[in-house]
Chains A and B, each alone.
Chain A
Amino acid sequence: MPVVWLSLLLLLTVGIEQMEWLFRLLEPDKRQVIYARASFFALLMQHVLVVGIASLLAVIIGVGAAIAVTRPAGRDFLPLVSQLASIGQTFPPVAVLALAVPVLGFGTLPIIVALLLYGLLPIVRNTLAGIGGIEPEMREAARAMGITPGQILRQVELPLAAPVILAGIRTSVTINIATAALGATVGASNLGDPIISGIVNGNTAYIVQGALLIGLLALTVDSAFERLVRQRQLTPAHG
Chain B
Amino acid sequence: MGEGRQAPNWVLISLMLAAGAAWLTLDVVSVAPNRIVPGTPHVALGILGGVPAILLVLPMLAVTLLAWHPTRKGLWLSLASVTGVLTLLPLWLAAATAMLVDPDLPQARVGLGSAIWVLLFLLLLALIELRTRLGLSRPMGWLLLIPMLLAWWLSLVLWLEPLALQREYQARSDQFADALLTHLTLVGAAVGASLILASLLALAMRRHPGVRRMGFAALNFLQTIPSLALFGLLLAPLAWLASRFEGLASIGVSGIGWAPAFLALLGYSLLPMVRNIHVALEEVDPAVIESAHGMGMSRRQVFIQVRLPLALPVVLEGVRITTVQAIGLTAVAALIGAGGLGTFIFQGLGQAAMDMVLLGALPIIALALMADALIGFLSERLRPGGLE
Find the residue from B9, B114, B224, B332 having the highest chain A CB count within 10 A.
B224
- Does residue A195 face the partner (Cβ distance < 8 Å to B)? yes
Contacting residue for A204 out of B224, B255, B369, CB 8 A = B255
Contacts of B357 in A (CB 8 A): 98-99, 101-102
Contacts of B352 in A (CB 8 A): 106
**How distant is the Cα of A128 from the Cα of B295 in the complex, in angstroms?**
44
- Does residue B232 face the partner (Cβ distance < 8 Å to A)? yes
**Contact indicator per residue, chain A 72-100, by CB within 8 Å of chain B (1) or not (0):** 00001101100110010011111100110
Contacting residue for A98 out of B11, B231, B232, B345, CB 8 A = B345
- Does residue A28 face the partner (Cβ distance < 8 Å to B)? no
- Does residue A178 face the partner (Cβ distance < 8 Å to B)? yes
**How distant is the Cα of A184 from the Cα of B222 in the complex, in angstroms?**
22
- Does residue B335 face the partner (Cβ distance < 8 Å to A)? yes
Contacts of A219 in B (CB 8 A): 221, 224-225
Contacts of A76 in B (CB 8 A): 9-11
B228 touching A204 by the CB < 8 A rule?
Answer: no
Contacts of B358 in A (CB 8 A): 99, 102
Q: Which segment, of A38-46, A60-68, A158-166, A208-216, faces chain B?
A: A208-216
Least CB distance, A30 to chain B, in whole angstroms: 13
- Does residue B346 face the partner (Cβ distance < 8 Å to A)? yes
**Contact indicator per residue, chain B 271-296, by CB within 8 Å of chain A (1) or not (0):** 00000000000000000000000000
Find the residue from A95, A106, A185, A199 having the highest chain B CB count within 10 A.
A95
Contacting residue for B349 out of A92, A98, A212, A214, CB 8 A = A98
- Does residue B129 face the partner (Cβ distance < 8 Å to A)? yes
- Report if A207-B232 is in contact (Cβ < 8 Å); known contacts: A91-B365, A101-B357, A185-B349: yes
Contacting residue for A222 out of B224, B228, B331, CB 8 A = B224
- Report if A195-B11 is in contact (Cβ < 8 Å); known contacts: A93-B328, A101-B357: no
Least CB distance, A3 to chain B, in whole angstroms: 17
- Does residue A177 face the partner (Cβ distance < 8 Å to B)? yes
Contacts of B354 in A (CB 8 A): 101-102
**How distant is the Cα of A61 from the Cα of B332 in the complex, in angstroms?**
28
- Report if A182-B332 is in contact (Cβ < 8 Å); known contacts: A79-B132, A215-B226: yes
Contacting residue for B364 out of A26, A94, A178, A181, CB 8 A = A94
Identify the closest chain A residue to B369 (Cβ): A90
**How distant is the Cα of A208 from the Cα of B358 in the complex, in angstroms?**
30
Contacts of B229 in A (CB 8 A): 178, 181, 195, 210-212, 214-215, 218
**How distant is the Cα of A196 from the Cα of B128 in the complex, in angstroms?**
39
B224 touching A174 by the CB < 8 A rule?
Answer: yes
**How distant is the Cα of A218 from the Cα of B365 in the complex, in angstroms?**
26
B361 touching A95 by the CB < 8 A rule?
Answer: yes
- Does residue A130 face the partner (Cβ distance < 8 Å to B)? no
A94 touching B342 by the CB < 8 A rule?
Answer: yes
Contacts of A92 in B (CB 8 A): 324, 327-329, 331, 364-365, 368
Interface bracket on A: 35 or more
- Does residue B199 face the partner (Cβ distance < 8 Å to A)? no
Identify the closest chain A residue to B341 (Cβ): A95
Find the residue from A186, A198, A204, A207 having the highest chain B CB count within 10 A.
A207
Contacting residue for B232 out of A77, A90, A182, A211, CB 8 A = A211
**Contact indicator per residue, chain A 165-201, by CB within 8 Å of chain B (1) or not (0):** 0000000001001100110011000001001101100
Contacts of A210 in B (CB 8 A): 229, 232
**How distant is the Cα of A182 from the Cα of B256 in the complex, in angstroms?**
17
**How distant is the Cα of A74 from the Cα of B95 in the complex, in angstroms?**
40
Contacting residue for A199 out of B132, B335, B348, CB 8 A = B335
Contacting residue for A214 out of B226, B348, B362, B372, CB 8 A = B226
Contacts of A192 in B (CB 8 A): 228
**How distant is the Cα of A129 from the Cα of B199 in the complex, in angstroms?**
30
- Does residue A103 face the partner (Cβ distance < 8 Å to B)? yes
Given contacts A91-B368, A94-B364, A178-B226, 20 further A-B contacts (CB under 8 A): A80-B132, A84-B128, A92-B327, A92-B331, A94-B328, A94-B332, A95-B331, A95-B345, A98-B349, A101-B357, A177-B226, A181-B226, A204-B239, A207-B236, A208-B233, A214-B229, A215-B230, A215-B233, A218-B224, A219-B225
User: Which 7 A-B pairs have CB atoms at the shortest separation, nearest pair first?
Assistant: A92-B328, A178-B226, A211-B232, A102-B354, A211-B229, A214-B229, A207-B232
Interface residues of A (CB under 8 A from B): 26, 76-77, 79-80, 83-84, 87, 90-95, 98-99, 101-103, 106, 174, 177-178, 181-182, 185-186, 192, 195-196, 198-199, 204, 207-208, 210-212, 214-215, 218-219, 222
A-B contact pairs, 10 of them (CB 8 A): A79-B133, A90-B324, A92-B331, A94-B345, A98-B357, A99-B357, A199-B335, A204-B255, A211-B228, A219-B224
